Amino acid sequence: MGDKDWQPFVYGGLASCTAEFGTFPIDTTKTRLQIQGQKIDSKHAELKYRGMTDALLQISKQEGVRALYSGICPAVLRQATYGTIKFGTYYSLKRLVSHGSGEEDVRVNVCCAVVAGMVSSAIANPTDVLKVRMQVLGSQGQRGIVGCFQDVYHQEGVAGLWRGVGPTAQRAAVIAAVELPVYDFCKHYFMDSLGNHISNHFISSFIASLGSAVASTPIDVIRTRLMNQKKLKKEVRSGGCHIYTGSIDCLVQTVKNEGPLALYKGFIPTWVRMGPWNIIFFVTYEQLKQLY
């Protein structure tokens, strides 16, 4: 492996962790908004939060500011694996397919992004499950990442750690297929007018975040709901805790009970988070590339 082969992996991981720290409270509000209003589950029949700002204020007031960072440990661990593999694989595949020519081909970029997104998200799925569970519990979940892992493993087994892996991989593929090629296209398009500077990285990453938010939110809602539901014994399942049999069932039940717009619950915090996340990530990534 040459000197440049490892750089996309290391830079991608470091930039992902940096972006995660800066935007995690918004991600927590997105998760809370996505799981509320599930009429099939009586415990979530009423809407607790009216929107992103209301969720931020209520969580801070009722559970403390610390609750906004519930799940940050598995989130950072996820980015250390998912981000490292995703961006490293994407840029390595691009260089391999183009034989290092540096030419931009949208079709090649999309294919490389889909592969990178699906593989990395599937590997990092257990950390995503732990993050979602801890975000939902908030101040109630005081046992930390180890305690959360033990709960999932003891109650649901190894399969519980890969709950929602299907929609997770689909979401990652959609996000990567839109986000990475759009960023590369915009960066290349603005190169003549803005050059390879922060202004170019900022604008390109912001445009990429809007496209990925629109494309991925419905899948993200399904993924979050599947990850949050718990697999309990038959005698207590009648209480409505295990509510979806899979991605299609979750999609059908959500649209049937809450309407099509329910698939875009949490869209605003998703975009609000993706914008800063992408900006922090790509600016950090580009600066690391220039630094070394």
73-82 tens-digit pLDDT: 999 998 999 9
pLDDT 10s digits, 15-41: 999 999 889 999 899 888 888 877 655
pTM recorded for the entire structure: 0.73
* Whether 272 contacts 24, CB under 8 Å: no
Residue 65 CA to residue 67 CA, distance in Å, equals: 5
CA distance 24 to 93: 29
Average pLDDT, the chain: 85
Asked whether residue 43 carries a pLDDT value surpassing 60, the answer given is: no
Between 247-258 and 198-228, two packed helices, what is the crossing angle to 10 degrees?
Answer: 90
Residue 235 pLDDT level (bands cut at 50, 70, 90): very low
Cα separation of 200 and 183, whole Å? 10
Please state the CATH superfamily assignment of the domain spanning residues 7-291 in this structure. Mitochondrial carrier domain (1.50.40.10)
Distance of alpha carbon 59 from alpha carbon 7, whole angstroms:
39
Nearest to 209 by CA among 26, 6, 55: 26
Q: Is 39 helix (H, G, I), strand (E, B) or coil?
A: coil
Task: Give the pLDDT confidence score for residue 275 in this predicted structure.
Answer: 87
Domain boundaries, the chain: 7-291
User: Residue 241 above 60 pLDDT?
Assistant: no
